[in-house]
Amino acid sequence: MQIKEHASLKAFHTFGIEQTCSYLAIVDSIDDVISLYQNPAFQSLPKLFLGKGSNVLFTEHFDGLVIVNRLLGKSVSETHEDYLLHVQGGEDWPSLVAWCVAQGMGGIENLALIPGCAGSAPIQ
């Protein structure tokens, strides 16, 4: 896990406007997330989970902890009628849709090209 103090947010949202946050953490495991929430230095701070930043506009300094979700992984359970996908929130959504289509899993292709991560893109 990477933690930066007084970090730039420019590279973490699609508008690319230069703004900062008090703390920025890039997480790639559930243990990282748990560690952040248990850390006394961050417990009282506002927190913002961020995927690819495609629907976020930072217009001022964020006085809190921005947690950049880079949790990756996916698994599939299959029956004769259904597919059950378990997808980590940091997975790139358009890539996930393309992967599902390539695997022959129909029904998700109408959600192609929504920018962002699996943790946020499908709710747009």
Spatial CA neighbour of 88 closest among 101, 112, 69: 69
Residue 16, domain extent: 2-69
Tell me: do 119 and 87 sit in the same domain. yes
Tell me: do 54 and 7 sit in the same domain. yes
CA dist., res. 81 & res. 62, Å (int): 46
**Model confidence over 49-101: pLDDT tens digits?**
998 888 889 999 999 999 999 999 999 998 888 889 999 999 999 999 999 99
Tell me: do 22 and 58 sit in the same domain. yes
Tell me: do 63 and 81 sit in the same domain. no
Tell me: do 6 and 65 sit in the same domain. yes
Number of residues assigned to the chain:
124
**Model confidence over 20-43: pLDDT tens digits?**
999 999 999 999 999 999 999 999
Residue 4 CB coordination number (10 Å): 14
CATH number at residue 48: 3.30.43.10
The HSE-up count of residue 45 (CA atoms within 13 Å, CB side) is 21
Region at 122 (left for phi over 0; alpha for psi -120 to 50; beta for the rest)? alpha
Model confidence, pTM: 0.85
Last residue of a domain, one of 69, 93, 114: 69
Phi, psi (rounded to 5 degrees) for 44: -90, -5
Tell me: do 9 and 62 sit in the same domain. yes
Tell me: do 58 and 13 sit in the same domain. yes
Kindly state the average pLDDT of the residues 1-19.
Answer: 94
Phi, psi (rounded to 5 degrees) for 7: -95, 150
Q: Which helix (H) or strand (E) holds 4?
A: strand 2-8
Last residue of a domain, one of 28, 47, 69: 69
Last residue of a domain, one of 69, 98, 113: 69
> How many structural domains compose the chain?
2
